[in-house]
Amino acid sequence: MSGYRPFIGLEIHVELATKSKMFCGCCADHFHKEPNTQTCPVCLGLPGALPVPNKKAIDWTVFLGLVLGCRINKHSYFERKQYFYPDLPKGFQISQYERPFCFKGWFDEVNITRVHLEEDTGKLIHRKIEGEKVTLIDFNRCGVPLVEIVTEPEIKSAEHAKEWLKKLQRVIRSLSISDCDMEKGSMRLEANVSVSKNGKLPSYKVELKNINSFRFVEKAIEFEIQRQTELFEKGQKIEQETRGFESDKGVTYLQRSKEEAFEYRYFPEPDIPPIVFTDGELDKIRKQIPELPEEKRQRFVKEYSLNEQEADYFVSNPSAAQYFEVLYLEKNFNLDFRETARLIINKKIDWENISPADFKAEVAVLQEGGLSDQVELAKAAKIVVDGNPKAVADYRKGKTNAVGFLVGQMMQKTKVDPNLARQELLKILE
């Protein structure tokens, strides 16, 4: 650019898909529920109510940390992060500071500083009611377990940030611990951006908040790098501050200056005893780590000679991947891997509705050409329809899969292209 190098670090919050909240037994699924209908004295912050941690949330945090290559603090504890805000009923958030569950990780060539566990806050809605500005608060979301992932400032560009985050999202989704969806708010982002000319990490960083899509991450960071570079070129100083992102204008704006920064006064949470892990427990969690998307993609490319796009398709569609691999399990199928992949990806064979055995049969027919004469096709189709009243009735009831069964029946009797067979059958059935 102009000799200024950006330093970008990311903070990602992920809502865990546990059944209950982090410190109480309230339902954690808060999407589209009537306001303040899923609260209890604990998550509402009523005097006297005490927090009791959700074991699954802790296990999943460690699980995620291990997947992200982190070291685990075998002796860990929660802390109180104190500040006042209407969405924070206790006046502090139970979070982690000195000893997070996970630290010093590594994912897709970026160092991860820490992965820790905390509770979510309530939701604020800003409105104007009868000319007066009000803020409405719903505590249904308050207390839902939230994992925070913090990276070192090693992200190189706005585009890198976007790509890295997409990969992270894919991995987290593959673990089935969160639907990690930015639109639903189960994945939230903050970016810390600074620039420097001398290649050294600057002493300040600007926190960007209120970014709720991958596209906006890229735009916000791009804008911010530009804004900071321009300020430096004018000879101005930049201090620690928090900025929001206005998506329609594509600009960042000041939210909190350094002087207004919260001072959190962390101290160990006295209501929750420390959490201690044994080596045995950590091994057990480690063993549950599945094949990760990147590993799978590489394996599909290597083992099956697929290209990147084809491998990507199977990584993004786990059921297709499973079907594909089952086809080759019995070693009685020798269609070229890439051919099979194409048949599945392009849905040339209706693989979702037929068994792998039937799939193999259809392939065999395709390979040998098969019946194509219209009259013969129509005859064969009629025989099958007459001979299978139940399947026909099912189809008429709305079970469209039944036609697949009839195709199979046709193919058992004669060599025929499955698509042509289907066409004929449907002519009769409609």
Partner 1 sequence: MDIVDNSIRETVDLFKKRKISCQEIVRACFERIEKYNLSINAYLTLNKEQALKKAQDVDNNRVKGRELPPLAGIPVALKDIYSTKNLRTTAASKIIDNYLPAYSATVVQKLESVGAIIMGKVNCDAFAHGATGENSDFGSVKNPWDLEYVAGGSSGGSAAAVAFGGCLMAMGTDTGGSIRNPASYCNLVGLKPTYGRVSRSGVISMGSSLDSMGHLTRTVEDCALVLSVTAGYDPLDATSSRKPVDFYLQDLSHPAIKGLKIGLPQEYFGRELNPEIKTLILKAAQQFTDLGAEVDEVSLPNTAYTIPVYYLIMSSEVSANLARFDGIRFGHAREMFGEEAKRRIMLGTFALSAGYYDAYYLRASKVRTLLRQDFEKAFAKFDALLAPVVPIKPRKIGEKEQEKLKLYLEDYVTGPVNLAGLPALALPCGFWHNIPMGMQLIGPQFSEKKLFEVGQAYQDVTDWHLKRPPLVEEMG
Partner 2 sequence: MKTTKISPQKVRQVAKLARFTLTDNEIHKFQGQLETILEHFETLGKVQVEDVEATYQTTGIKNACRDDKRQHCSLTQKEALQNAPNTQKGYFKVKGILPEN
List residues near partner 1 by CB under 8 A.
41, 44-53, 80, 82, 84, 86, 89-92, 137, 263, 265, 267, 270-273
Residues 10-49 that bind partner 2 (CB under 8 A): 18-20, 24-27, 34-41, 44
**Token duo for residue 124:** 């604020």
CA distance 340 to 363: 9
Q: Of the listed pieces 221-229, 272-280, 335-343, 364-372, which binds partner 2 according to CB under 8 A? A: 272-280
Closest distance of CB 7 from partner 2, Å: 23
Angle between the N-to-C axes of helices 293-304 and 337-345, in degrees from 0 to 180, rounded to the nearest 10: 130
Q: Which of partner 1, partner 2, none sits in contact with 419, Cβ below 5 to 8 A by type?
A: none
Q: In what order do the strands lie in the sheet with 241-246?
A: 71-72, 102-107, 110-119, 145-151, 5-15, 187-196, 206-211, 241-246, 251-257
Q: Which of partner 2, partner 1, none sits in contact with 279, Cβ below 5 to 8 A by type?
A: none
Closest distance of CB 121 from partner 2, Å: 9
Find all residues with CB under 8 Å of 27, minimum gap 6, and list them: 19, 20, 21, 38
Q: Which of partner 1, partner 2, none sits in contact with 80, Cβ below 5 to 8 A by type?
A: partner 1
Closest distance of CB 90 from partner 1, Å: 5
Query: Counting contacts by CB under 8 A, is residue 131 touching partner 2?
Result: no
Structural contact between residues 383 and 429, judged by C-beta atoms closer than 8 angstroms: no
Which parts of 234-292 fold into alpha helices (H)?
279-287
Q: Which of partner 1, partner 2, none sits in contact with 324, Cβ below 5 to 8 A by type?
A: none
Q: Which of partner 2, partner 1, none sits in contact with 45, Cβ below 5 to 8 A by type?
A: partner 1
Closest distance of CB 29 from partner 1, Å: 22
The one among 63, 139, 223, 232 contacting partner 2 by CB under 8 A: 139
Give me the residue label for tokens 């500071």.
Answer: 97
Q: Which is nearer to partner 2, 138 or 310 (CB)?
A: 138
CA distance 73 to 354: 49
Q: Of the listed pieces 56-64, 157-165, 194-202, 297-305, which binds partner 2 according to CB under 8 A? A: 56-64
**Token duo for residue 66:** 């291990």
Closest distance of CB 37 from partner 1, Å: 14
Find all residues with CB under 8 Å of 406, minimum gap 6, and list them: 384, 385, 388, 391, 392, 395, 425
Q: Which is nearer to partner 1, 248 or 263 (CB)?
A: 263
Which of 157-162's residues contact partners 24+ apart within 8 Å by CB, and which partners?
157/6, 157/8, 157/221, 158/8, 158/217, 158/218, 158/219, 158/220, 158/221, 158/222, 158/225, 159/218, 160/8, 161/8, 161/10, 161/191, 161/217, 161/218, 161/221, 162/214, 162/215, 162/217, 162/218
Query: Counting contacts by CB under 8 A, is residue 270 touching partner 2?
Result: yes
CA distance 31 to 24: 18
Find all residues with CB under 8 Å of 57, minimum gap 6, and list them: 16, 18, 22, 117, 145
Q: Which of partner 2, partner 1, none sits in contact with 69, Cβ below 5 to 8 A by type?
A: none
CA 183 to chain centre: 11
Half-sphere exposure of 320 (CA within 13 A, CB side): 19
The one among 4, 111, 154, 244 contacting partner 2 by CB under 8 A: 244
Closest distance of CB 251 from partner 2, Å: 16
x/- contact string, 195-224, with partner 2 (CB under 8 A)?
--------------xx--------------
Residues 71-100 that bind partner 2 (CB under 8 A): 77, 82, 84-86, 91
Closest distance of CB 158 from partner 2, Å: 21
Burial class (CB in 10 A: 0-12, 13-18, 19+), 358: buried
**Token duo for residue 417:** 């292209």
Query: Counting contacts by CB under 8 A, is residue 55 touching partner 2?
Result: yes
Q: Which is nearer to partner 2, 10 or 363 (CB)?
A: 10
Residues that bind partner 2 in the complex, under the rule CB under 8 A:
18-20, 24-27, 34-41, 44, 52-58, 77, 82, 84-86, 91, 124-129, 132-139, 209-210, 244, 255-256, 263, 265, 268, 270, 272-276
